[in-house]
A = this chain, B = another copy of it.
Amino acid sequence: MQTSNNSIQTPQSVDLVIEARWIAILDTEHVFLEHYALVVHADKIVDLQEIATARKQYLAKERISLDEHILIPGLINLHTHAAMNLMRGIADDLPLMTWLNQHIWPTERAVVFDDYVKDASLHACAEMLSGGITCFNDMYFYPSATAAAVSQSGMRASLGLLVTEFATNYAADADDYLQKGFEAHDGWRNNPMISSVIAPHAPYTVTNKTFEKVVIYAEQLGLGIHTHLHETRHEIVHSQEEFGVRPIQRLSELGLLGPGFLAAHGVHLLPQEIDLLHAYGCHIAHCPSSNLKLGSGIAPVADLVAKQVNVGLGTDSAASNNRLDMFTEMRMAALLAKGASEDPTSLPAHQVLKMATINAAKALGLDEKIGSIEIGKQADITAVKLSDLTISPCYDPISHLVYTCGREHVTHTWVAGELKYSNGIYANIEPMELKEIVKKWQPKLAQHKH
- Interface residues of chain A, those whose CB is within 8 Å of chain B, are 86, 88-90, 92-96, 99, 123, 126-127, 130-131, 233, 289, 291-298, 321-323, 332, 334-336, 338-346, 348-349, 389-396, 399-400, 403-404, 406-408, 431, 434-435, 438, 441-442, 445-446, 449
By a CB distance below 8 angstroms, the chain B residues around A90 are: 395
The CA-CA distance from A88 to B401 in the complex, in Å, is 12
Chain B residue nearest in CB terms to A297: B342
Asked whether A295 and B389 contact (CB < 8 A) given A396-B89, A403-B92, the answer is no
By a CB distance below 8 angstroms, the chain B residues around A296 are: 339, 342
Known contacts A95-B344, A392-B442, then 14 further A-B pairs from the complex at CB < 8 Å, ordered by chain A residue? A88-B392, A92-B399, A93-B348, A93-B399, A126-B390, A131-B390, A293-B338, A293-B344, A294-B344, A295-B342, A321-B403, A393-B441, A395-B449, A406-B408
By a CB distance below 8 angstroms, the chain B residues around A233 are: 342
* Beta-carbon contact of A92 and B396 below 8 Å: yes
The CA-CA distance from A339 to B287 in the complex, in Å, is 12
* Beta-carbon contact of A93 and B292 below 8 Å: no
Asked whether A323 and B391 contact (CB < 8 A) given A294-B344, A298-B339, A344-B293, the answer is yes
Chain B residue nearest in CB terms to A320: B344
* Beta-carbon contact of A434 and B389 below 8 Å: yes
* Beta-carbon contact of A89 and B344 below 8 Å: no
* Beta-carbon contact of A294 and B96 below 8 Å: no
By a CB distance below 8 angstroms, the chain B residues around A293 are: 334-335, 338-339, 344, 403
The CA-CA distance from A294 to B343 in the complex, in Å, is 7
A297–chain B nearest beta-carbon distance, Å = 5
A394–chain B nearest beta-carbon distance, Å = 7
Asked whether A389 and B431 contact (CB < 8 A) given A88-B404, A292-B338, A294-B338, the answer is yes
The CA-CA distance from A344 to B97 in the complex, in Å, is 11
A95–chain B nearest beta-carbon distance, Å = 6
The CA-CA distance from A297 to B338 in the complex, in Å, is 8
* Beta-carbon contact of B339 and A389 below 8 Å: no
By a CB distance below 8 angstroms, the chain B residues around A431 are: 389
* Beta-carbon contact of B344 and A94 below 8 Å: yes
* Beta-carbon contact of A99 and B395 below 8 Å: no
By a CB distance below 8 angstroms, the chain B residues around A86 are: 393
Chain B residue nearest in CB terms to A93: B348
By a CB distance below 8 angstroms, the chain B residues around A346 are: 295
Asked whether A336 and B292 contact (CB < 8 A) given A323-B404, A390-B126, the answer is yes
The CA-CA distance from A131 to B388 in the complex, in Å, is 13
By a CB distance below 8 angstroms, the chain B residues around A126 are: 389-390
A103–chain B nearest beta-carbon distance, Å = 10
Residue in contact with A389 in the complex, picked from B390, B435, B442, CB distance below 8 Å: B435
Chain B residue nearest in CB terms to A324: B390
Chain B residue nearest in CB terms to A341: B295
By a CB distance below 8 angstroms, the chain B residues around A289 are: 335
The CA-CA distance from A47 to B294 in the complex, in Å, is 39
30 chain-A/chain-B pairs, Cβ below 8 angstroms: A88-B393, A89-B394, A89-B400, A90-B395, A92-B349, A92-B403, A93-B344, A93-B348, A93-B349, A95-B344, A95-B345, A96-B344, A123-B392, A126-B390, A131-B390, A292-B335, A293-B335, A293-B338, A293-B344, A295-B338, A295-B345, A296-B339, A296-B342, A298-B340, A322-B400, A323-B391, A389-B431, A392-B438, A406-B406, A408-B408
A10–chain B nearest beta-carbon distance, Å = 42
A127–chain B nearest beta-carbon distance, Å = 4
The CA-CA distance from A93 to B346 in the complex, in Å, is 7
Chain B residue nearest in CB terms to A344: B295
Chain B residue nearest in CB terms to A337: B292
By a CB distance below 8 angstroms, the chain B residues around A392 are: 88, 123, 434, 438, 442
* Beta-carbon contact of B291 and A339 below 8 Å: yes
A261–chain B nearest beta-carbon distance, Å = 25
